[in-house]
Amino acid sequence: MGQKVNPNGFRVGVIRDWNTRWYASKKEFSDFLIEDKKIREHLKKAHYAAGVSKIDIERAAGKVTVSIHTARPGVLIGKGGVGVDAIKADVTALIGKPVNVNIMEVKNPDANAQLVAESIAAQLEKRISFRRAMKQSMGRAMKAGAKGIISAGSGNGSIHQDTEKGLAEAVKKGVVVVRSSRTGSGIVTPSDPDNQYTKAGFLNGYSLNPQKARILLQLALTKTQDPKEIQRMFTEY
């Protein structure tokens, strides 16, 4: 059970703000919560092709402000802003309240974890080889300036041989790669010096699941890019 965690809980107030910002009485709280859920689900489904990474919702003075973070703002804005007007009318009809819509551009979509994951999923749905999809995504992430990669492996942090090749290339280019496991419990055991993962330069996430490992790697990279020092942090924490 200790492996189940929403990574946003660790980031709010440190490197992230709340995705929803409003105050409500006990009577209104549940209604607002359901409305927010409807707005997010509707916009995500209706504009999935626009690469929507996040939707922020604010409420003040009876008005609802929806900020849509997208990799393709032009798709949502439309010619002369007709797209924004359509979204406003759509959401207003959905919740029955006046709505303001802001379109925010995601400057670096290839380094946005949400959009990278959705891109891989879309390619798999089109029956593109997972090897090709993973390799291309890692390549674009590195070009976009990614400094670290968490590998969510199976079992003892096992990595498919084709994915392993791409990660090994990333290490050669200075990217820190950490092995973790997506299983419900257990640890990624240390690799001996002759192990293929050790030779490739992969670090060990030990007891941290991919979400927690990602947070620790983010913090570690603000201090150093030395693999030995980062491995010490994973061993200690």
| N residues, the chain | 237
Instruction: Measure the CA–CA gap between 208 and 205, rounded to whole angstroms.
Output: 6
3-state secondary structure 29-79: HHHHHHHHHHHHHHHHHHCHHHCEEEEEEEEECCEEEEEEEECCHHHHHCH
Over the stretch 72-117, which tens digit does the pLDDT of each residue have?
999 999 888 899 999 999 999 999 999 999 999 999 898 888 899 8
The tokens for 27 are 């009577």
| Residue whose token pair is 């291309």 | 136
Per CATH, domain 8-107 is 3.30.300.20 = yes
Instruction: Measure the CA–CA gap between 181 and 207, rounded to whole angstroms.
Output: 9
State what percent of residues in the chain have pLDDT above 90: 46
Tell me, what's the pLDDT at 189?
82
Tell me, what's the pLDDT at 5?
64
Q: Which CATH class is domain 147-236?
A: alpha beta
